[in-house]
Amino acid sequence: MFFNSKKRKEIKENEARLMRINDFEVRYVTTRDPKKYGESIIGKSCVINIRSGEFNIMCDDKLIFTHPVEGLQCSELMSQEGAILSYVDNETGENVEVMAYYKYHRK
């Protein structure tokens, strides 16, 4: 009973974090390799868009990342200069992390 309301609150907070970064410009997007403990750049000068339940990152009219909002976990970096997007890959069962580093945004 209590755990169900806590879970709904966490889901609502996660969706609020995702919606807050909608239409943010991104300097670059990286993906983290858990085996080598490194990051690989997959796009530069991008834009985050959330349309009809899909979280998209576009670079030069090219879609470099897409995932349904429902299974995507978002957490901000401590510096608040970017976000970590994590999800479980359905095919491999591995945790996948994608980092988006924002361009300068005045708060």
Q: For residues 79 and 52, what is the distance between their CA atoms, to the nearest angstrom? A: 29
Contact between residue 75 and residue 17 where contact means Cβ atoms under 8 Å apart: yes
Tracing tokens 């491999």 back to the chain, one arrives at 92
Phi-psi region of 84 (alpha: psi -120 to 50; beta: other; left: phi over 0): beta
Over residues 66-80, the mean pLDDT reads: 91
DSSP state of 71: G
Percent of the chain with pLDDT over 90: 55
Domain ranges for the chain: 2-102
Over residues 9-22, the mean pLDDT reads: 89
Taking all residues of the chain, what is their mean pLDDT, rounded to a whole number?
A: 88
Q: For residues 23 and 18, what is the distance between their CA atoms, to the nearest angstrom? A: 10
Q: Is the pLDDT of residue 107 over 60?
A: no
Q: Is the pLDDT of residue 3 over 70?
A: no
Nearest residue to 102 (alpha-carbon basis) of 47, 43, 38:
47
Over residues 87-102, the mean pLDDT reads: 90
Q: 2-102: which CATH number, 2.30.29, 2.10.260, 1.10.150, 3.40.50?
A: 2.30.29
Over residues 66-93, the mean pLDDT reads: 91
Confidence band of 2 (pLDDT split at 50, 70, 90): low
